[in-house]
Amino acid sequence: MNIFLIFVAFLSLAVYEALPLIREKSWRELITTGCIWLLGFTLSVLLALGVPLPSPVRIFGFVSDVALGILSLIF
């Protein structure tokens, strides 16, 4: 039941947000928002199924360490 509600919520969001982008032929924005929606939908379904997900703090820490390392090489 939870997955059905997630599906309905994302479908209604997609219809509400995507139709104006299609009318305006804003393909780049549509692809970008579609990728973000797909990521959000996937994470929502995994959480509803009870799959343990890694903490985003570790991922952000790793990305910031790499970015700061690159910046320290440049400057």
In the chain, where are the structural domains located?
2-74
Q: How confident is the model at residue 28 (pLDDT cuts 50, 70, 90)?
A: very high
Q: How confident is the model at residue 2 (pLDDT cuts 50, 70, 90)?
A: confident
Contact 20, 30 (CB under 8 A): no
Q: What is the pTM of this model?
A: 0.68
Tell me the average pLDDT across 23-40.
Answer: 92
Spatial separation of the C-alpha atoms in residues 19 and 25, rounded to whole Å? 10
